[in-house]
């Protein structure tokens, strides 16, 4: 069966050259590359590769700001997209941002919450336990901190184009986050997701209660949403794309036909073969064989 090795350059840092393409083609024992975007992305048909071979190609190009993606030649365009929010669709960790906004009220809170977040996203502590403990630290803070944090949220480059292009080609799209519906509702609308799912942050009057409504949406719930959406679309897992950065994304990344680790934490990078380490979210479209001319730019 033919496989496809896809090279995607971060155009803000470099240009994909003939030397880059030739090097990857040689290491993959591949055939003539097909251009997806001049100076940015190519597909290289090849025989099936092992994870070790893919890592060797990635290492050879590591100084060139080029992402190396890989998959079967058939069924490349996915019919279901499930995406994480924090540090994936947006550049922020929104819970950390809420705590950071409270620094003048509780000095040191921002750093304390961010430290737990880092450990949780790297799989060092249980997600649900860490979420409850971090939210508890917000007890009795003003709910207006959410609006302040929202002003700092930045949607990552390529997020809107990724969603719009897949929707235009018939894919079901969902934003599924271990964060909070207060933010996913806004991000989903901004990016064009058909639906969104997250945790509910409890608010009493104008104050944060310091609790999250049960049950917690964690790693298993993300996988459950991927499974539900695939079933509803009558799509096998091979026809699904999941993208995320943290340990709580691993179950859905392992299961999806194309699981993409996006600028991910070390624990995720160690396990997931397909990674966007250098570029933008549009790399997820190139990985499906879309040409730049096919993109629905937003």
Regarding whether 274 and 198 lie in a shared domain, the answer is yes
Range 145-152 average pLDDT: 97
Using a pLDDT cut of 90, give the percent of the chain over it: 98
pLDDT, mean of residues 68-91: 98
Q: Which of 72, 106, 133 is the last residue of a domain?
A: 72
Q: Is the pLDDT of residue 152 over 90?
A: yes
Same structural domain for residues 54 and 85?
no
Same domain, 203 and 173: yes
Is residue 229 within 8 Å of 201, Cβ to Cβ?
Answer: no
CA distances from 203 to 137, 147, 155, 158 (A): 14, 13, 25, 33
Same domain, 52 and 163: no
Give yes or no: residues 66 and 180 share one domain.
Answer: no
Q: Are residues 87 and 209 in the same domain?
A: yes
Q: Which H or E run contains 79? A: none
* Cα–Cα distance, 269 to 260 (Å, whole number): 10
Structure-block tokens of residue 246:
């943290």
Which of 43, 72, 101 corresponds to the end of one domain? 72
Give the whole-angstrom CA distance, residue 144 versus residue 150. Answer: 10
pLDDT at residue 153 greater than cutoff 70: yes
Q: The tokens of 120 are what?
A: 């949780």
Domain assignment present for 135 = no
Determine, yes or no, domain membership for 131: no
Residues 23 and 87 in one domain: no
DSSP, res 76: -
210 occurs within a structural domain: yes
In a domain, 125, yes or no: no
pLDDT band of residue 298 (cuts 50, 70, 90) is confident
Neighbour count for residue 180 (Cβ, 10 Å): 23
pLDDT at 221: 97
What does the mean pLDDT of the chain come to? 97
Average pLDDT of span 154-174? 98
If you average pLDDT over residues 71-94, what whole number do you get?
97
Task: Tell me which residues are annotated as active site.
Answer: 84, 86
The CATH number for 30's domain is: 3.30.70
| 228 plus 85 within the same structural domain | yes
Global pTM value: 0.96
Query: Are residues 47 and 165 located together in one domain of the fold?
Result: no
Tens-place pLDDT, residues 266-276: 999 999 999 99
Average pLDDT over residues 17-21: 98
Tell me what pLDDT residue 1 has.
Answer: 63
Indicate whether 133 belongs to any domain: no
We report the CATH number of the domain holding residue 243 as: 3.40.50.1000
Q: Which residue range forms the structural domain that includes residue 248?
A: 80-92+155-294
Q: Is residue 148 part of a domain?
A: no
Residues 86 and 188 in one domain: yes
Residues 268, 251 within the same domain:
yes
Question: Domain count of the chain?
Answer: 2
* Alpha helix segments (H runs only) across 7-70: 18-28, 51-60
Residue 218 domain-assigned? yes
145 alpha-carbon distance from chain centroid: 25
- Select from 38, 72, 106 the last residue of a domain: 72
Under DSSP, the state recorded for 154 is -
162 shares a domain with 84 = yes
């Amino acid at each position: 069966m033919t496989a496809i090795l896809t090279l995607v350059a971060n155009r803000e840092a470099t240009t994909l050259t003939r030397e880059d393409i030739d090097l990857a083609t040689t290491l993959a024992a591949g055939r003539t590359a097909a251009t997806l975007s001049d100076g940015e992305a190519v597909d290289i048909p090849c025989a099936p590769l092992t994870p070790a071979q893919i890592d060797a190609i990635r290492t050879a190009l590591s100084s060139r700001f080029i992402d190396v993606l890989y998959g079967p030649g058939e069924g490349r365009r996915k019919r279901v997209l499930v995406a994480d929010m924090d540090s994936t669709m947006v550049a922020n960790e929104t819970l950390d941002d809420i705590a950071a906004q409270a620094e003048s009220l509780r000095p040191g809170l921002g750093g304390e919450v961010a430290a737990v977040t880092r450990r949780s996203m790297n799989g060092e502590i249980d997600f649900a336990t860490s979420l409850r403990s971090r939210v508890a630290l917000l007890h009795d803070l003003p709910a207006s901190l959410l609006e302040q944090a929202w002003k700092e949220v930045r949607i990552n480059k390529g997020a809107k184009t990724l969603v719009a292009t897949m929707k235009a080609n018939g894919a079901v799209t969902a934003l599924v986050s271990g964060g909070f519906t207060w933010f996913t509702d806004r991000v989903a609308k901004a990016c064009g997701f058909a639906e969104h799912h997250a945790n509910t942050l409890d608010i009493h009057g104008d104050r944060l209660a310091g609790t999250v409504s049960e049950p917690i949406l964690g790693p298993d719930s993300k996988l459950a949403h991927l499974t539900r959406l695939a079933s509803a679309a009558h799509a096998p897992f091979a026809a699904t794309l999941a993208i995320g950065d943290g340990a709580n994304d691993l179950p859905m990344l392992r299961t999806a036909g194309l699981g993409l680790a996006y600028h991910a934490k070390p624990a995720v990078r160690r396990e997931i073969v397909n990674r966007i380490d250098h570029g933008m979210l549009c790399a997820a479209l190139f990985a499906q064989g879309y040409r730049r001319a096919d993109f629905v730019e937003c």
